[in-house]
Amino acid sequence: MCSGNIHGAIGVLSQRVMDCTVFLRIFYLTLYVHERYTMTAQSKRNRRGKLSPLIIIGGSILVLAVAFLFISDMILDNRDPEVSRTIAEKRGEDSPVSATAFRNDAQLSFTDSDGNPLADVQVEIAETEQARTQGLMGRDRMREDQGMLFIFPTQEYRSFWMANTPISLDIIFVNTDREIVTIQRNTVPYSEEGIPSTAPAMYVIEVNAGYCDRHGIREGHKAGWIRQ
């Protein structure tokens, strides 16, 4: 804590002590007057000159409560921002999966049905069972010009899901002729619902959500890639 914060806190503390002193005096006076008017004559004779236990207990509780409030407020005002970060933020920074470096395994190009170029992305290739299962799980960001290419050994109807995937995607299903047969746009992060192809596919490309709309990519267009 820097010295400026200390002096500021002392000033606030002094002002609050003065305010609490005035408040406590009013509180004690109110209780005292209330007890004087409600005691019986006998109580007056037996308890003259003595403070009521009600006053003592109530005053003690009030003092502790006020002290707790201004001390806790001082702590909050001067807390270290590093301590204030949420557990989720810390966990996200420490996650080894999120820290995985993106591999540029191939240059992938989208073209329309006439062969005119539409867009290019650098893709990380997942062609083993383990890599296809992992996919983009746990990664919380991807650049506009990045994506992932899944290569399967056979062509068949495919179904993906978004379990443990924190970013929304466009999922593009491609057949053996490198033709796009299905585009599932703007997937829901962490969803465990199946995201199917509408025709057999051997390849699947994942890019950021909205990528296909931004670059005019649709079913019937082509996708080709060259390994780096």
Which class in CATH covers the domain with range 106-227? Answer: mainly beta
Q: Which residues are paired to 204 by β-bridges?
A: 150, 173
- Looking at residue 60, its amino acid is S
* pLDDT in 10s for each residue of the chain, 228 residues: 333 333 344 444 445 545 555 556 666 666 665 566 565 555 555 555 555 666 667 667 766 765 665 565 554 445 443 443 333 334 444 444 444 788 999 999 999 999 999 999 999 999 999 999 999 998 889 999 999 999 999 999 999 999 999 999 999 999 999 999 999 999 999 999 999 999 999 999 999 999 999 999 999 999 999 998
- Name the one residue in this structure whose structure tokens are 């806190």: 9
Beta bridge partners of 151: 203
Q: What is the DSSP letter of 138?
A: T
Helix (H) or strand (E) holding 98: none
Question: Residue 181's closest CA among 157, 209, 150, 160?
Answer: 157
Q: Any idea where the domains of the chain sit in the sequence?
A: 3-84, 106-227
